[in-house]
Amino acid sequence: MAKKWSKRKVFRIIWLSFGSLFFIWNWNTFQSHQLPENTFLNNDLVSVLETDDQITFTSALPENKLEVIFFQGGLTDPKAYAPLCRKIAEKGFTCHLIKMEWRLPQYRYQEVFKFIDLKAGNYVIGGHSQGGKMAAQMVHENPTLFKGLFLMGTSHPRDIDLSNQPIPCIKLYADRDGLASVEEVMENKSKLPKNSNLILIAGGNHSQFGYLGQLLMDSSSKISLEEQQKQTIHHLITFMNSIKMKV
């Protein structure tokens, strides 16, 4: 005769089942979702090359000497930012989407020096969330190396002070961002480079800065993914065009 399961054993199985389902759901939100079909296709405007270290979206406009280094968010699939990087390239700026080891930008972020000669070109650097933090860290450690800094959906710089850096900077933040709230962004405003341009995306959230699922603790957006991406692209391109004139 089969032994009856104890209440403790039943509870343990239920707990483990829910825990496993929660982990799977949470991990799935960090994956790329709903990527446009042409994201990785070559055409007359953009060519795409993927390696172990980066996905490069090369612009067909050779006269533009300004290029972009993009750092992914923490734990996120780097491909979630591929549509954004492609749009940047379509507007004339070759964009290097950096693949971070273990999807963690805070570790070995300086590996980018091994496969891109940053000292030989004109680069703007930036990223989303934790990627924005490490882009700011790169500027802090290499104050004369980059032509501009862009930050998306992040409360950083928080632990470093860039207020004395003359570098052009833009920061995009959203009022529905549950991971980098407006209050947190404003708390650290004084640590940004002087004359930084802070732009609020009304109705946007943290997750829609990439093609991601809704991340844990993020708020629901009040605008579509397409609309948030459209506004993000517009402001980034305006920023980069202002730097292009000086390069």
Domain 7-244 has CATH 3.40.50.2300: no
User: In angstroms, rounded to a whole number, what is the distance separating the alpha carbons of residues 240 and 68?
Assistant: 9
Query: 132: closest CA among 184, 64, 66, 203?
Result: 184
Measured at the CA of 148, the angle between CA 147 and CA 153, to 5 degrees, comes to: 160
Phi–psi pair at 98, nearest 5 degrees = -85, 130
Q: At what angle do helices 225-244 and 82-90 cross, to 10 degrees?
A: 40
Q: Per residue of the chain (247 residues), give pLDDT as tens.
A: 455 666 666 556 555 544 444 444 444 667 999 999 999 999 999 999 999 999 999 999 877 789 999 999 999 999 999 999 999 999 999 999 999 988 888 888 999 999 999 999 999 999 999 999 999 999 999 999 999 999 999 999 999 999 999 999 999 999 999 999 999 999 999 999 999 999 999 999 999 999 999 988 999 999 999 999 999 999 999 999 999 877 7
